[in-house]
């Protein structure tokens, strides 16, 4: 890509022409049906945000045991595929383009949600409670994955990628971040294996690499991105050597000619960010760690991300609260505040499809919802 700090200028992602450099980051919102099928409400939500250069849809599970929380999306049955197709068709009609994130929760799961014992690289439980249909419950001890489990899971990711393309997505993002299954294999405190998938960093990166290779073989590497979160401790993961771990991972991945590498909360001043940018030959999506969700701050940090070598900028909460974020940034208009209590687990339109666009006012019903007592 041609280097620029103008995040509103047109961009390219491989074969895709993007209207701007802004990417809507994947955001778990728990608005699917109980079996993981996307809904018409979700189609409305994403269509409202179709002016993003690219939308990466929320994490979608490639198999039943990979489900993290209630009412998250999935992509392993014909019904799931059909549900996602109604979303992609609506977004495409509005001029938008979408990738789908493929996410397996590993130990971030519960039998009360899935009816299944979670699986993980090692039998190390999540060190906190997890939300289930019955509320927050202690996390169970996951079952250590066997060699057959690993092979089957890799195949499930590949099959999910094929379904995503069938559903109308331009490509998929492999989720290897935020303490989910692939990240659990990377981190030494959650991966205590002594076989070919554990121990030194070269072996701990193997599962993430093999999943990504299988997905690339299934749908073409130009349709595949991967998301990583170096140094993140989300969901209780700890990395012993962040720089060495991700150097080993990117060394294995960069020969695949993937669509992109997506860095979560990628502060440009960190040593690992500079090293990854220097080593990664392809498109890099940066995700600034925003503490100030004002127009000025979002614009400043987006430009800073591009100046630090990112090719595209992924934004989460700004897109969540502002369906017309691109227009607001172009005009310098104020941003809507995020309504925290409607983020997850509550379902419905509140805090999902009722954020107003410029010139629009919430309906009286929405105003009641804004002030109502319901909490997550």
Query: Are 230 and 276 within 8 A, CB to CB?
Result: yes
Average pLDDT, the chain: 94
Q: Whole-model pTM above 0.85?
A: yes
pLDDT at 326: 98
- What local confidence, expressed as pLDDT, does residue 360 receive? 67
**In this predicted model, what pLDDT tens digit does every residue of 198-250 receive, in sequence order?**
999 999 999 999 999 999 999 999 999 999 999 999 999 999 999 999 999 99
> Strand ranges (DSSP E) for the chain?
11-13, 16-18, 22-24, 54-60, 98-102, 119-120, 129-132, 135-138, 143-144, 171-176, 224-228, 260-263, 284-286, 312-315
Host H or E run for residue 106: none
> What is the mean pLDDT of the segment spanning 148-153?
98
Query: Which of the 8 DSSP states describes residue 204?
Result: H
Q: For 155-176, how does the pLDDT look when each residue is reduced to its tens digit (9 = 90+)?
A: 999 999 999 999 999 999 999 9
Using pLDDT thresholds of 50, 70 and 90, give the confidence band for residue 1.
very low
Q: Is the pLDDT of residue 93 over 50?
A: yes
Q: Give start and end residues of each alpha helix (H) in 167-241.
A: 181-186, 201-204, 206-219
Query: What confidence category does residue 133 fall into, taking pLDDT thresholds of 50, 70 and 90?
Result: very high
Percent of the chain at pLDDT exceeding 90: 91
Residue 371, pLDDT > 70, answer no
pLDDT at 227 (0 to 100): 98
| Other C-beta atoms lying within 10 Å of the C-beta of residue 271 | 9
Question: 28 and 60 in contact (C-beta within 8 Å)?
Answer: no
Residues 364, 362: Cα–Cα separation, whole Å: 7
Kindly state the average pLDDT of the residues 180-185: 98
pLDDT at 367: 32
pLDDT in tens, 40-83: 999 999 999 999 999 999 999 999 999 999 999 999 999 999 99
Quick one: pLDDT band at residue 369, thresholds 50, 70, 90? very low
Residue predicted with more confidence, 289 or 324:
324
Q: What percent of the chain has pLDDT over 70?
A: 95
Torsion of CA 239, 245, 246, 250, to 10 degrees: -150
Q: What distance in Å separates the CA atoms of residue 83 and residue 42, rounded to the nearest whole number?
A: 10
Among 288, 230, 270, 228, CA closest to 21: 288
Calpha distance 114→65 (Å, rounded):
6
pLDDT, position 248: 97
């Amino acid at each position: 890509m041609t280097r620029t700090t103008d995040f509103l200028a047109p961009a390219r992602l491989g074969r895709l022409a993007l209207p701007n450099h802004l990417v809507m980051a994947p955001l778990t919102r728990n608005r699917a049906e109980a079996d993981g099928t996307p809904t018409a409400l979700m189609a409305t939500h994403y269509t409202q945000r179709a002016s993003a250069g690219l939308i990466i849809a929320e994490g979608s599970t490639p198999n039943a045991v990979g489900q993290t929380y209630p009412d998250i999306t999935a992509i392993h049955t014909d019904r799931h595929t059909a549900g996602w197709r109604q979303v992609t068709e609506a977004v495409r009609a509005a001029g938008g383009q979408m990738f789908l994130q493929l996410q397996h929760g590993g130990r971030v799961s519960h039998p009360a949600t899935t009816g299944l014992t979670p699986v993980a690289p090692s039998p190390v439980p999540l060190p906190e409670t997890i939300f289930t249909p019955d509320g927050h419950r202690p996390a169970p001890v996951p079952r250590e994955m066997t060699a057959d489990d690993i092979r089957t899971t890799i195949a499930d990711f590949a099959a999910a990628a094929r379904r995503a393309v069938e559903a109308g997505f331009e490509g998929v993002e492999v989720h290897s971040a935020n303490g989910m299954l692939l990240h659990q294999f990377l981190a030494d405190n959650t991966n205590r294996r002594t076989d070919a998938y554990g121990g030194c960093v070269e072996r701990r990166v193997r599962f993430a690499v093999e999943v990504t290779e299988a997905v690339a073989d299934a749908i073409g590497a130009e349709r595949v991105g991967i998301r990583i979160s170096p140094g993140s401790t989300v969901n209780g993961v700890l990395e012993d050597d962040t720089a060495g771990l991700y150097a080993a991972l990117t060394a294995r991945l960069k020969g695949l000619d993937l669509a992109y590498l997506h860095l979560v909360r990628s502060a440009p001043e960190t040593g690992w960010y500079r090293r990854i940018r220097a080593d990664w030959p392809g498109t890099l999506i940066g995700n600034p760690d925003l503490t100030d969700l004002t127009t000025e701050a979002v614009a400043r940090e987006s430009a800073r991300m591009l100046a630090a070598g990112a090719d595209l900028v992924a934004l989460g909460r700004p897109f969540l609260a502002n369906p017309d974020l691109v227009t607001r940034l172009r005009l310098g208009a104020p941003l809507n505040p995020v309504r925290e209590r409607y983020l997850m687990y509550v379902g419905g339109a509140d805090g999902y499809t009722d954020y107003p666009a410029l010139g629009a006012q919430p309906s009286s019903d929405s105003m009641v919802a804004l002030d109502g007592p319901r909490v997550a």
